């Protein structure tokens, strides 16, 4: 990310509250709500492309407050809801 992290929203499903690690891939269930997060990077884990995301639910959730979510599939609408800006001073 040349200009730093970007903000995004995504659809939250009940099972996501219990997420502990790995790359999150939504399987089934009804959307519970939407939530805003910060996408800070990307990578590949066991051949699966993911976005690295900072959450605001504290360090005891997910992977020390972060999570990985499937990349390039618009998982939970994350890629549709990205917003970014460039500050001019």
Mean per-residue pLDDT for 28-46? 95
Residue for token pair 């639910």: 57
pTM of the model: 0.90
User: What are the residue ranges spanned by the domains of the chain?
Assistant: 6-77
Residue-level pLDDT at 85:
84
State which CATH number among 1.10.3720.10, 3.20.20.20, 2.40.50.170, 1.20.1050.10 fits the domain covering 6-77.
2.40.50.170
pLDDT per residue as tens digits for the range 6-27: 999 999 999 999 999 999 999 9
Residue for token pair 């979510």: 69
Beta bridge partners of 11: 34
**What is the 3 state secondary structure string of the chain?**
CCCCCEEEEEEECHHHHHCCCCEECCCCCCCCEEEEEEEEEEEEECCEEEEEEECCCCCCCCECCEEEEECCCCHHHCCCCCECCCCCC
pLDDT per residue as tens digits for the range 39-76: 999 999 999 999 999 999 999 999 999 999 999 999 99
């Amino acid at each position: 990310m040349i200009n730093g992290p970007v903000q995004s929203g995504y659809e939250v499903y009940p099972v996501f509250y219990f997420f502990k690690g790995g790359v999150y891939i939504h399987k089934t269930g009804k959307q519970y709500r939407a939530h805003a997060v910060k996408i800070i990077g990307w990578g590949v884990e066991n051949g699966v492309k993911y976005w690295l995301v900072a959450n605001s639910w504290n360090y005891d959730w997910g992977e020390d407050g972060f999570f990985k979510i499937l990349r390039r599939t618009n998982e939970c609408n994350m890629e549709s809801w990205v917003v970014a800006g460039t500050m001019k001073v």
